[in-house]
């Protein structure tokens, strides 16, 4: 009997041991780290290095010795004052208490050295890790943590950085590191800055982090000082940067600021609220409390939670499942990159201001309020959308919205939009919205419309002495695109492919075109456009693929070799020519119809003859 009781007791002890082990593992998993202060072979900052941790004693030497140890170091709750910059060594792992959101019983490293210096430098410190520590810059440290050339499983976890005056975390020349539950708050300068100062920043992850109440000096004014006071900023920083489940709130500048070149920047599951406090405070000073309720006031600045100011390569910048609360919005500045559009997928926000057209709004629900800011601004209206430009000179041009897999061009005013091309003085880096901001190439315009649906009128105003070619492809919708001359203009070879919206070329007698090819185009019109200049191929105008083309008051001249014909319709296309002349082109090919095509002529002077190849030519009176 005793043996059986002992056996039963052993089984109970074993079961209790298993339960305790499982519970301990669950606590470790649920907390994302240690459920209690680590023990074992860890060194103690107090017992092994002689720190005091009362906030009065100078613990600089003890901290530096511990950080040089390349060991696991435990720093219990307390305030550890240091008076000069500390340097981290690789493989050192620091474990504190509290940290992050948990302010109870925190381990605090308190900087009390010279003003505007760096508190902690993490340089060439591979495998360095810090957990559950609060770094307090005491409004004296310029930079909280300077992170450079440190990679390979390096991380910050449950770390808080406060009280800095320039950058809470400044990172350059780094890759393959992670920051989890990092809290950057109450800093007078910027929050986190990723910079190419010493080299690119690649493959960096910020997970469940908080960037709030930074930029407390309010230098961001919404007018000229864009790159200040942000919660998180990326400057020419490199590739594959992920911000997942992060909060950006109550920062003096933007919650998130992007500038320069970058690739594969992914912001997902983010929450933005009450950023741009600098501009809001300025408006409050100017207009009083009315500024918060009335955004029609002309002095209101750009209250932006996200500012994108990419001026060169920006590839794969994606915002996904983000929410912007309150009156803040998104401001797209600069050129938006030259590689791919900025994409917003499944996002909700108040206002979108666009100074460039290189963006897409995908499966998202804007909740836009009216604003005086120039650019492309939109809001729901019934089941559709209303588009308009803000008051004052418009500075933005259309962007794209993708809805149900269809990409729409979004003009600012509902009645349409003018775009400018100057082949002599223009620059494709301009915004194309005014003569002094004209693009140089017509292809820049064609690229804007490629693979989109047009719903309102567009007018492309072109001038200059240079001959320009362009290819318009895959455009549909009920809207129209009109190309017209302002002064003299010269189009070279223009190709239209699968353009089913209306396309008009209205020369007014001031614009020439060398050659036009229309394939699978439903509604093309040319009015008062002389066909002249060097060209190749068998005809000045070729309509194919069941296209419909109307030609009025045009003249067809021969090319230099005299080998090019006038009008050729083929493959079931329909061409109507009125009040035009075809002179001196290749003999027998003034008008040509083949493969089921039909050409109708009315008051057309043709001295080059006609050719039938399975099509029809009809003369109207």
For 416, phi then psi, to 5°, come to: 125, -175
**What's the CA gap between 65 and 230, in Å, rounded?**
34
For residue 25, the model assigns a pLDDT of 38
Q: Which residues contact 315 (CB under 8 A, 6 or more apart)?
A: 262, 263, 264, 337, 339, 340
pLDDT at 299: 31
Instruction: Determine the Cα–Cα distance for residues 170 and 350; give it in Å rounded to an integer.
Output: 30
**pLDDT tens digits along 569-601:** 999 999 999 999 999 898 889 999 999 999 999
Q: Would you state the pLDDT for residue 280?
A: 85
355 near 332, Cβ under 8 Å? yes
pLDDT per residue as tens digits for the range 522-546: 999 999 999 998 888 889 999 999 9
pLDDT tens digits, one per residue of 261-274: 889 999 999 999 99
- Give the span between the Cα atoms of 466 and 488, in whole angstroms: 10
Q: Identify which of 76, 82, 43, 40 has the alpha carbon closest to the alpha carbon of residue 60.
A: 82
pLDDT tens digit sequence for 190-201: 999 999 999 999
List the chain residues with pLDDT less than 70. 1-40, 289-301, 312, 335-339, 350-357, 364-399, 401-405, 411-414
pLDDT tens digits along 384-393: 433 333 333 3
Q: What is the C-alpha to C-alpha distance for residues 540 and 555, in angstroms, rounded to an integer?
A: 10
CA distance 28 to 131: 14
Q: In sequence order, which residues have a C-beta less than 8 Å from that of residue 504 and are 6 or more positions away?
A: 480, 481, 482, 483, 484, 524, 525, 526, 527
Distance between CA atoms of 540 and 532, rounded to whole angstroms? 9
> What local confidence, expressed as pLDDT, does residue 373 receive?
38
Any alpha helices (H) in 518-566, and if so which ranges? none
Alpha helices in 77-127 (DSSP H): none
- Cα(498)–Cα(522) distance, integer angstroms: 8
pTM: 0.70
Cβ neighbour number for residue 404 with a 10 Å cutoff: 5
Please report, to the nearest 10 degrees, the dihedral formed by the alpha carbons of residues 587, 589, 590, 593 taken in order: 160
pLDDT of residue 398: 65
Whole-number pLDDT of residue 405: 65
In this structure, the number of other CB atoms found within 10 A of the CB of residue 414 comes to 15
């Amino acid at each position: 009997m005793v043996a059986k009781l002992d056996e039963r007791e052993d089984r109970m002890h074993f079961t209790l041991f298993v339960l305790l082990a499982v519970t301990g593992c669950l606590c470790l998993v649920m907390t994302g780290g240690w459920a209690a202060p680590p023990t074992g072979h860890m060194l103690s900052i107090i017992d092994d290095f002689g720190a005091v941790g009362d906030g009065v004693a100078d613990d600089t030497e003890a901290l530096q010795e511990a950080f040089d140890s390349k060991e696991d170091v435990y720093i219990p709750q307390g305030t550890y004052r240091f008076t000069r910059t500390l340097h981290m060594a690789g493989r050192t792992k620091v474990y504190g208490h509290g940290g992050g959101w948990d302010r109870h019983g925190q381990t605090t490293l308190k900087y009390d050295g010279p003003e505007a210096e760096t508190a902690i430098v993490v340089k060439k410190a591979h495998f360095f890790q810090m957990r559950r520590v609060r770094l307090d810059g005491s409004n004296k440290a310029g930079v909280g943590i300077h992170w450079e050339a440190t990679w390979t499983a390096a991380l910050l976890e449950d770390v808080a950085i406060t009280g800095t005056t320039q950058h809470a975390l400044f990172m350059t020349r780094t890759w393959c590191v992670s920051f989890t539950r990092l809290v950057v708050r109450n800093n007078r300068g910027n929050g986190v800055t990723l910079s190419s100062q010493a080299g690119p920043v690649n493959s960096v992850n910020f997970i469940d982090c908080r960037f709030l109440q930074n930029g407390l000096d309010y230098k961001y004014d919404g007018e000229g000082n864009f790159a200040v006071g942000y919660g998180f900023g990326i400057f020419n920083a490199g590739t594959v940067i992920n911000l997942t489940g992060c909060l950006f709130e109550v920062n003096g500048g933007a919650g998130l600021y992007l500038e320069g070149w970058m690739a594969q920047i992914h912001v997902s599951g983010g929450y933005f609220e009450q950023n741009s406090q600098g501009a809001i405070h300025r408006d409050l000073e100017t207009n009083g409390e009315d500024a918060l309720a009335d955004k029609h006031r002309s002095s209101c600045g750009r209250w932006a939670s996200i500012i994108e100011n990419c001026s060169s390569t920006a590839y794969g910048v994606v915002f996904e499942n983000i929410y912007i609360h309150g009156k803040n919005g998104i401001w797209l500045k600069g050129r938006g990159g030259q590689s791919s559009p900025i994409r917003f997928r499944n996002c909700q926000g108040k206002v979108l201001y666009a100074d460039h057209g290189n963006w897409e709004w995908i499966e998202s629900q804007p909740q836009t309020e009216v604003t005086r800011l120039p650019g492309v601004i939109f809001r729901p209206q019934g089941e559709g959308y209303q588009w308009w430009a803000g008051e004052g000179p418009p500075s933005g041009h259309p962007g794209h919205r993708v809805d149900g897999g269809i990409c729409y061009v979004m003009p600012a005013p509902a009645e349409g939009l003018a775009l400018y091309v100057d082949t002599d003085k223009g620059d494709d880096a301009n915004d194309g919205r005014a003569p002094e901001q004209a693009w140089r190439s017509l292809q820049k315009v064609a690229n804007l419309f490629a693979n989109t649906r047009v719903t309102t009128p567009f007018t492309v105003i072109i001038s200059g002495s240079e001959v320009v070619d362009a290819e318009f492809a895959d455009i549909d919708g009920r809207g129209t695109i009109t190309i017209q001359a302002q002064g003299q203009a010269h189009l070279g070879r223009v190709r239209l492919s699968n353009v089913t919206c209306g396309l008009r070329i209205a020369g007014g007698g001031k614009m020439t075109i060398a050659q036009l090819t229309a394939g699978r185009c439903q509604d093309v019109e040319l009015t008062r456009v002389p066909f002249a200049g060097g060209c190749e191929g068998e005809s000045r105008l070729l309509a194919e693929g069941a296209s419909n083309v109307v030609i009025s008051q045009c003249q067809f001249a021969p090319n230099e070799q005299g080998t090019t014909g006038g009008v050729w319709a083929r493959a079931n296309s329909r061409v109507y020519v009125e009040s035009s002349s075809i002179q001196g082109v290749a003999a027998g090919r003034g008008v040509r119809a083949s493969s089921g095509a039909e050409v109708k002529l009315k008051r057309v002077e043709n001295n080059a003859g006609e050719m039938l190849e399975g099509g029809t030519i009809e003369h109207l009176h």
